[in-house]
Structure 1
Amino acid sequence: MTQQQTMSNAAWAQLFLLGLIWGGSFFSIAIALREIGFLTSVVHRVGWAALVLIAVVAIRRHALPRGWQVWVGFLGMGLLNNVIPFTLMAWGQTQIETGLVSILNAATAIFGVLAAALFLRDERLTVPRGIGTVLGFAGVATIIGWSALASFDIRSIAQLAVIGGTISYALAGVWARVMLKGLPPEVAAAGMLSASFVVMLPLAWAVEGPPSLALQPATWGAIGYYAIVATAGAYLLYYRILAIAGSGNLLLVTLVIPAVAISLGAAFLGESLPASAFAGLALIAAGLIVIDGRVHRALFKRTASG
């Protein structure tokens, strides 16, 4: 994992802004799902976000990539980073609380570490990463419930669907490292979202019927937020933070998202989560902190200097 860079106040502000934006996306998706199907919600998400990012690519005069390998890369990235996780998590939100979805989503970084260790030669599973991964897995099992893993009721299936989405996100990180190296971030994001739209539109049309534009204002507001702000805008902000703060510091955004989603769900959707959800979140957070390593280094440095 990349060594953490020193973060300026501006970088910290942008990181917390990204956490607020992504945390709010779970709430906005829940609002949209009151009127549209979960597949249609994904069509809107990737379609409008793709249009915004295509416009950004045009404004910045980036050259369009050529060669079938790049477009295969876009398709694979679209499936792993958009189609599969967006679909699984949107369906999951029809069965479980938005705050719970956001907590399970926090395991993305845990699975990302494991996927990188399995498929990338330069990402070894060190002792801290191994301990962090075990803590993360324990957190996921605590949230779902050890007994529920054998019962497979609709609630446990929904939670496992969300976990499937986090695994897909993790594999997307590996795919991007291998297949999309050297592309400007805006081009990569626009390409994968466009490929996602091409896949999702016929799928949603076949299952839920043609997407309707005659929606309630609240639904359009929710779609506008999660598609334009929390997808297109968040991708641009994500890559900006990555450039100025490094991938290690971006792990911290994972700890902000659940707090925002849980608060919005409780305040506006009347959601309440069991104690096991918070216990699991604590284990996942502990795993992320161990993987991040800065607390351990600070304590070691203090002990050594003392």
Structure 2
Amino acid sequence: MKAPANSRAGGFAMGPAEWGLLLLLSVLWGGTFNLIQLALRELPPFTLVCLRMIITTVALAAVAVALGHSLAQPWRVWRSFAIMGLVNSLIPHSLNAWGQTQITSGLAAVLNASTPMFTVVFAHYFLRDERMSVLKVTGVLTGIAGVVVIIGAGVLRGASPALLGELALLLAAMSMAMAAVFGRSLAGVSPLLSATGQAAWTTLFLLPFALVTDRPWLLPMPGTVTWLSVAGIALGGTALGYTIYYRLLATSGATNLL
């Protein structure tokens, strides 16, 4: 018997287009960890994330306006953008950037892969159409075991910088999982507008922190490799990545997405 074209979980379909977008998103987000590691050689974490979000906001807003989208949305929608800016950008991006000053990009990518584990748990309690199944429970338990193996020895050694970096990456993964669940409330909004609004709020939240903590005007001018890394993170992993993210969140659900 021929396999069905779509795979379903919680009433959401994953067809060839969705699988292709998910693969592209995985490549975009996976590649950002190496680029972040390169950029952190010359930029402190808050400045890096702030530059990332400024470039993302300008690029997405320009594309949205060029395509005829109106940025004038009801306050309810902008409030949701603000929440997503906190839990899907500001918190995880800052934790990821700081955590990677303590651990390698490879380990950071592995710990970030725990996001689906947290998403399954949050979705079960907050989304009626994405309940746990035996397969999902098995995946969660496997994920927990993997996390224990990775950071267990560090816990026994005490609060070392590496352990704190690992915990920062786990908190970032948890924040992104919460965002995926909350982001379902934006299913009726254009993915491009959702990504633009999220980026704009993140920039507003983060700019004061970057100015106060890093005093970027005192930093030496970064080199070409750093600027190219920041541009790659912003345009690929963030601008394009989050546009795909919101599209998949609306069509495929939180647990299929992450």
Bin the TM-score by the shorter chain: 0.7 to 0.9
1:70 aligns with 77
Instruction: Spell out the pairing of 1:154-233 with structure 2 (5 A cutoff).
Output: 154-178=161-185, 180-210=186-216, 214-233=221-240
Residue 125 and residue 237 in structure 1: after superposition, are their counterparts in 2 closer, same or farther (change >3 A)?
closer
Q: Does 1:45 align with 2:52?
A: yes
1:98 aligns with 105
For residue 19 of structure 1, report the CA deviation from its aligned partner.
2.5
Could you give the per-residue CA deviations for residues 7-40 of structure 1, whole angstroms, max 9, x where no partner exists? 44x7655543333222211111111100010011
CA distance in 2, matches of 1:6, 1:161: 31
**For the Cα contact (< 8 Å) 1:5–1:249, is it kept in 2?**
no
For residue 59 of structure 1, report the CA deviation from its aligned partner.
1.4
1:57 aligns with 64
- Structure 1 gaps, min length 5: 255-306
1:95 is paired with a residue of what secondary structure? Answer: coil
Could you give the per-residue CA deviations for residues 243-301 of structure 1, whole angstroms, max 9, x where no partner exists? 78x458955xx7xxxxxxxxxxxxxxxxxxxxxxxxxxxxxxxxxxxxxxxxxxxxxxx
2:152 aligns with 145
- Percent identity over the alignment is 37
1:278 aligns with none
* Structure 2 residue identity aligned to 1:156: L
CA distance in 2, matches of 1:206, 1:116: 37
For residue 130 of structure 1, report the CA deviation from its aligned partner.
1.6
1:145 is paired with a residue of what secondary structure? Answer: helix
Residue 243 and residue 88 in structure 1: after superposition, are their counterparts in 2 closer, same or farther (change >3 A)?
closer
Count of residues paired in the alignment: 249
Give TM-score scaled by structure 2 length. Answer: 0.87
2:5 aligns with none
Decide which of 15, 18, 30 is 2:25's aligned counterpart: 18
Residue 154 and residue 220 in structure 1: after superposition, are their counterparts in 2 closer, same or farther (change >3 A)?
same
CA distance in 2, matches of 1:70, 1:243: 15
Q: Does 1:236 align with 2:243?
A: yes
**For the Cα contact (< 8 Å) 1:149–1:156, is it kept in 2?**
no
* Structure 1 residue identity aligned to 2:191: P
2:128 aligns with 121
Pairwise CA RMSD: 2.4
